[in-house]
Amino acid sequence: MRLSARIVCALVLVAGGAGVAGSAPRKARAKRPPLPSLVLPPEPSARDLAIGRACQQGLGRVQGAVVAMDPYTGRVMALVNPRYGLTTAYQPCSVFKIVVAIAGLSEGAITPATRHVCSGGCWSWPGHGSIDLRRALAVSCNPYFERVGEELGYAQVERYAHLLGLGEPSGINLTGEAKGTLPTHVSPAAVGHLSSHAAGIRTSAVQVAVLVSATLNGGIVYQPQVANAEAFSPRERWRLPAGTRTDGLAAGFMAAVNEGSASGAFDPQIVVAGKTGTCSGVGWFASYAPADRPELVIVVFMRRGSGAGASSIAGRVYENLYGSRDADPTIAGGGGGGR
């Protein structure tokens, strides 16, 4: 039997609970207001305001995001464009090499002195020759980390990715966080490509900031919080297992800025360190400064760009902050550095 459009409409309304005698009307789910383009702590300090302004100016009109975090507490001082830095997850590209390096060091697959030969099949078509971990991080050598990942196997790579906070929500006190993804299974033939390019992995700039912070603070994975510095209480999620090694990473991160893929972040006023990532049309730079006494983690993500471009954005952020440090001592320092 065919029903008229009017009857069908009435049935849909009844099925949805509308207009049914004796039933309570269903409350419409309140829509949460979108996050502002610049997220700052409530009642931000002068330093928070300066950092937020520097991040916003550094990014400019580029489609992307910038996150500023205290690596020793997980306190987020600024988040520019949460749409790209929090609520959507992207392939982390060569930034994932940090995870592979930590896994390789911790499991004994490499030491900082371990050398592999890059004879081609890299972004640099002639290859990088025989290089150690420091140089491999500096120039973001793909074959080096492919070899390490293949020796480890995906189970170990995945384990360290989870330990460093990837593949699940960070628990930040903002709405709409994307949890990101890690593949449940990767064939042995694909482990190398995943280890160098993060193929099949998705994460956010906030999660990357947590990851970088854990390499600096002794292995603490913090729950990031957008909060005022006064009466702030850090929240540990967990600590990396005893025996987790990060030695050799700092030298590679500094070399990336001083002589490698992140030269756009070089600043004569402050020593910057970090790791670039470029793939699938997106760009990353995960960084911190000052390199010898880290007090600030800055992660830059570009929706359309490259690691070199992202490092240049970070360079502008650091220049805005530390270039005028003598003129305004509230801009940098006084927040967790040197621990």
pLDDT for residue 120: 81
Query: What pLDDT was estimated at residue 1?
Result: 37
Q: How would you class 70 by CB atoms within 10 Å of its CB: exposed for 0-12, middle for 13-18, buried for 19 or more? A: buried
Q: Where are the domains of the chain?
A: 36-238+245-322
What is residue 115's predicted lDDT score, i.e. its pLDDT? 97
Q: How far apart are CA 196 and CA 316, in angstroms?
A: 27
pTM to 2 decimals?
Answer: 0.87
Of the candidates 198, 232, 199, 211, the one whose C-alpha atom is nearest the C-alpha of residue 168 is 211
Helix (H) or strand (E) holding 200: none
* Both structure tokens of 177: 């966080």
Residue 290: is the preceding peptide bond cis (ω within 30°)? yes
The closest of 198, 183, 221, 205 to 87, measured between CA atoms, is 205
Supply the pLDDT for residue 30: 60
What's residue 123's pLDDT? 85
Task: Tell me the pLDDT tens digit for each residue of 91-137.
Answer: 999 999 999 999 999 999 999 999 999 998 798 888 899 999 999 99
- What is the average per-residue pLDDT within 184-213? 97
Alpha-carbon distance of 42 to 55, in angstroms, equals 17
- In this structure, what token pair is assigned to residue 191? 């482990």
* Residue 324 pLDDT grade (very low, low, confident, very high; cuts 50, 70, 90): low
Residue 238 has φ and ψ, to the nearest 5°, of -170, 175
Which pLDDT does position 15 carry in this prediction?
Answer: 32
Looking at residue 40, its pLDDT comes to: 98
Q: Mean of the per-residue pLDDT values for the chain?
A: 88
Average pLDDT over residues 250-273: 95
Please state, in angstroms and as integers, the Cα–Cα distance from residue 58 to each residue in 53, 73, 99, 243, 330, following that order.
8, 24, 27, 38, 19
Q: How confident is the model at residue 29 (pLDDT cuts 50, 70, 90)?
A: low
Q: Which amino acid is located at 305 in the chain?
A: G
Give 285-322 pLDDT, tens digit per residue.
Answer: 999 999 999 999 999 999 999 999 999 999 999 999 99
Q: Backbone dihedral region of 170: left (phi > 0), alpha (psi from -120 to 50 degrees) or beta?
A: alpha
Mapped onto helix, strand or coil, the DSSP state of residue 258 is helix
Share of the chain above pLDDT 90, in %: 82
Domain 36-238+245-322 has CATH 3.40.710.10: yes
CB contact set of 158 (below 8 Å; sequence gap of 6+): 182, 183, 186
pLDDT digits (tens, 9 = 90+) for 143-188: 999 999 999 999 999 999 999 999 999 999 999 999 999 999 999 9
CA distance linking residue 108 with residue 32, whole number of Å: 48
Q: How confident is the model at residue 13 (pLDDT cuts 50, 70, 90)?
A: very low
